[in-house]
Structure 1
Amino acid sequence: MTIAYDMLESLKEMFDEQNRAAKQTTMKALLTMKMVEGTSIREHALKMMSLLNDLKILGAVIDMESQVEMVQQTLPVSFQQFFLNYNMNKMDLSLVKLLNELQAAESIIK
C-alpha cells in the first residue's frame, strides 16, 4: 500500500507543473478573448464554453454567474442591450441557455 501511495504522489508531482502551465495558458486565452463585431455568436460562445470546460477539467472552480459574466465581457457593444435586459430582469441562465438567448439576440441585431 505504501509503494502505491508513493507512486501516486510521485506522479502528482511530475504532472502538477504541467497542469499549472496548462491552466495558466487556458485562463489567459479566456481572459484575452474578444468577439469581433459581425462574427458568429455561436462560434464565439462555444469557444468560450470549451475554454471554461478545459479550466474545470484542470481543476479551476469558476461559479456559473462568473462564467456568464466572463462571456458578457467578451462581447461587442452591439450586445449591450441584451445584457442590460439580462441584468434588469435578473435572469439566471446556464451557458447553454445563454448561448440560445444570444443567438436570438444576434438575429434581432442583424
Structure 2
Amino acid sequence: MAKCYIHVSIANVLQHQHQSMTTAYDMLKSLKEMFGEQNGAAKQTAMKALLTTKIIEGTSVREHVLKMMSLLNELEILGAVIDKESQVEMVLQTLPNSFQQFRLNYNRNKMDLSLAKLLNELQAVESIIKQ
C-alpha cells in the first residue's frame, strides 16, 4: 500500500524509474539518494537568509517577523532543530535600535514568549514608537 502511495505522489519520470522496485523502503532509499543533497543545499540557503535578515528602520515589524517565522519554519521542515527560545532570540537580534528598550525588558524580566506572542508584543511596541 505504501509503495502505491509513493508511486502516485511522484512525477511520471520517477514513477517509471521506480516501477521495478519491490518495496516502499527501496523506493524511499532511492529517492533520498537522488534528492538528499538538495535538502542540504536548501537548508544552507534558508539558514543564510535567516542569519542575514535585518529589518530596515521604519518598515513593518509584522512583515519582518512573519518573514523570520517563515524562514524558521522552512528550516524546521528541512530538518534543522532550533529551540523556541533561540528562535525568539534570533528575531530579537534583527530588530532596529528603536526596539532596544523592548530587548532590555525581555532580558531583564526573562520573558517566556512564543513567536506568535512576540509578534503581538512587537506590534504593540511599534505602535507606541510611531506615536
Do these two structures clear the TM 0.5 threshold for a shared fold by scoring above it?
yes
Task: Give the distance between the partners of 1:58 and 1:82, measured in 2 at CA.
Answer: 31
SS of the residue corresponding to residue 3 of structure 1 reads coil
Report the identity percentage.
80
Give the number of the structure whose alpha-carbon radius of gyration is greater.
2
1:100 aligns with 2:123: no
Task: Give the distance between the partners of 2:27 and 2:68, measured in 1 at CA.
Answer: 36
1:109 aligns with 2:129: yes
1:10 to partner: Cα distance = 1.1
1:13 to partner: Cα distance = 1.1
TM-score w.r.t. length of structure 1: 0.95
1:46 aligns with 2:66: yes
Task: Give the distance between the partners of 1:54 and 1:46, measured in 2 at CA.
Answer: 12
Task: Give the distance between the partners of 1:64 and 1:93, measured in 2 at CA.
Answer: 9
Q: Deviations over 1:43-73 (max 9, x none)?
A: 0000000000011111110000100010011
TM-score w.r.t. length of structure 2: 0.80
Aligned partner of 1:65 among 72, 85, 88: 85
1:3 to partner: Cα distance = 3.4
2:10 paired residue number: none
Task: Give the distance between the partners of 2:46 and 2:22, measured in 1 at CA.
Answer: 34
SS of the residue corresponding to residue 22 of structure 2 reads helix
Task: Give the distance between the partners of 1:3 and 1:51, measured in 2 at CA.
Answer: 38
1:3 aligns with 2:43: no
**Pairwise CA RMSD of aligned residues?**
1.4
Task: Give the distance between the partners of 1:36 and 1:9, measured in 2 at CA.
Answer: 44
1:23 aligns with 2:23: no
Task: Give the distance between the partners of 1:54 and 1:27, measured in 2 at CA.
Answer: 9
User: Which letter maps to 2:55?
Assistant: M
For these two proteins, the number of residue pairs brought into alignment is 110
Give unpaired runs (5+ residues) of structure 1: none
Task: Give the distance between the partners of 1:80 and 1:16, measured in 2 at CA.
Answer: 41
